[in-house]
């Protein structure tokens, strides 16, 4: 029995780097309440279960899913999150989207400082005192974000509520 347990643990540990390596930016059509929306996303965090997502409705909207670290959050809350890449950082207030259990912020447009930060190299760390920190790779972010921004204002998706 001990050998089987050890074999399972070794097998699980061997899969961790492969899972982490699969966290890369992508842009594809995702289903939303109003229909299909072009969405750029990346996974990250210690377990690879946290996500940053960017979609465009009237303006770009950034979403941050804390993954398992977030648990079930209370509706109506918000938090100040610091995004740090290289020597640049900025803090943005994100509101909880209770239906999906992740934090969101509407960005000012294609020239929003947070989008500029996400176009960087290396990694971006997202942190908040209450929720800890998760790191996301930035490789491929420019192309994925560019696809989303190209769809802004095209009226894709269904009617707004």
pLDDT digit string (tens) for the chain, length 161 residues: 443 322 222 222 233 333 344 789 999 998 877 788 999 999 999 999 999 999 988 899 999 999 987 877 888 999 999 999 999 999 999 999 988 899 999 999 999 999 999 998 999 999 999 999 999 999 999 999 999 999 887 654 443 33
Which sequence spans correspond to the domains of the chain? 23-151
Taking the C-alpha atoms of residue 2 and residue 76, their distance in angstroms, rounded to an integer, is 48
The pTM assigned to this predicted structure is 0.80
User: Domain 23-151 class?
Assistant: mainly beta
């Amino acid at each position: 029995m001990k050998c089987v347990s050890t074999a399972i643990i070794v097998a699980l540990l061997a899969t961790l780097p492969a899972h982490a390596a699969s966290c890369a930016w992508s842009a594809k059509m995702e289903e939303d309440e109003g229909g299909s929306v072009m969405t750029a996303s990346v996974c990250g965090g210690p377990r690879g279960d946290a996500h940053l997502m960017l979609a465009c409705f009237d303006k770009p909207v950034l979403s941050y899913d804390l993954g398992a670290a977030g648990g079930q959050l209370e509706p109506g809350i918000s938090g100040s999150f610091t995004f740090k890449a290289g020597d640049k950082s900025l803090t943005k207030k994100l509101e909880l989207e209770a239906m999906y259990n992740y934090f969101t912020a509407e960005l000012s447009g294609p020239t929003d400082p947070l989008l500029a930060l996400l176009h960087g190299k290396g990694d971006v760390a997202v942190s908040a005192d209450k929720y800890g920190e998760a790191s996301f790779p930035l490789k491929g972010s420019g192309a994925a974000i560019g696809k989303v921004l190209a769809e802004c204002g095209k009226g894709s998706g269904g009617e707004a509520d």
